[in-house]
Amino acid sequence: MLEDQLRELFEELDIERRPRTFGAVDVIHHGLEIKSRRRALTVAGSALGTTALVVAVGFVLAGLPASHSDPATPPGITTHGPDPTPQSPVPSVPTGTPTPGLPHTTPPYANPPSTVQPSAIPSSPITPSPITPSPVTPTGDPPSATTPPTPTGSPGPFNTATPRPPATNLPQTTADHTAHHTADPPAATALPTHAITDGPSFRALTTWRH
């Protein structure tokens, strides 16, 4: 029936042959092009993926310290930082240059350059104790003042102290510093800790601002 006619139709159509429009070389050439395109896409895709991964890891690593730098504090409560450690204690001793032959005219102690007087703040829980001037008396011996400091000096706070700007306009010299060191080490160690730091003035400032 119809199936037989279909078979006859297909057989008759198969008799007629047409010339080929492409050969195996064309197929191979086109296949190689597709292969190279796929390879290029694969390389580009992996490069993009690697770049994105590196950028993402970089962002993550860059964001980690920022999250740790802000500790969580309850809202509404302001915290005062701890007392500043005496990393650079200021010598309370005048650092005038002892000129040989001239008397020492500057006062032995100058007030720290604080704009707020500690006694002017009534609500300060900590009353800054006045700094007592150390009984430093330069020996006035020029040969001993010019001796270089020994690194094995006394471990008092004056050894790590950076000299403050002098209260007087006299320039500070190394000889002055060394003279001070060699002058009276026991007096420096006898000073109380809060007296040789900026702690009271710093605390007064923060309290006054809040």
In whole angstroms, give the CA distance from residue 172 to residue 37: 77
Q: Is 31 in the site for other proteins (CB under 8 A)?
A: yes
Which residues, including other chains, have CB under 8 Å from residue 140's CB and lie 6 or more apart?
98, 100, 104
In angstroms, what CA-CA distances link 136 with 20, 37, 121? 114, 87, 31
Contact 32, 40 (CB under 8 A): no
In whole angstroms, give the CA distance from residue 72 to residue 67: 10
In whole angstroms, give the CA distance from residue 111 to residue 131: 8
Choosing from 18, 68, 209, 210, the residue that interacts with other proteins (CB under 8 A) is: 18
Q: Is 23 in the site for other proteins (CB under 8 A)?
A: yes
Choosing from 2, 60, 72, 77, the residue that interacts with other proteins (CB under 8 A) is: 2
Largest Cα–Cα separation, the chain: 141
Choosing from 20, 68, 209, 210, the residue that interacts with other proteins (CB under 8 A) is: 20
Q: Is 17 in the site for other proteins (CB under 8 A)?
A: yes
Q: Is 37 in the site for other proteins (CB under 8 A)?
A: no
- Pseudo-torsion of CA 152, 161, 171, 100, nearest 10°? -40
Residue closer to other proteins, measured from CB, 21 or 79: 21
Q: Is 27 in the site for other proteins (CB under 8 A)?
A: yes
Residue closer to other proteins, measured from CB, 27 or 56: 27
Q: Is 40 in the site for other proteins (CB under 8 A)?
A: no
Q: Is 8 in the site for other proteins (CB under 8 A)?
A: yes
CB of 24 to other proteins, least distance (A): 4
Q: Which positions touch other proteins (CB under 8 A)?
A: 1-3, 5-10, 12-18, 20-28, 30-31, 34-35
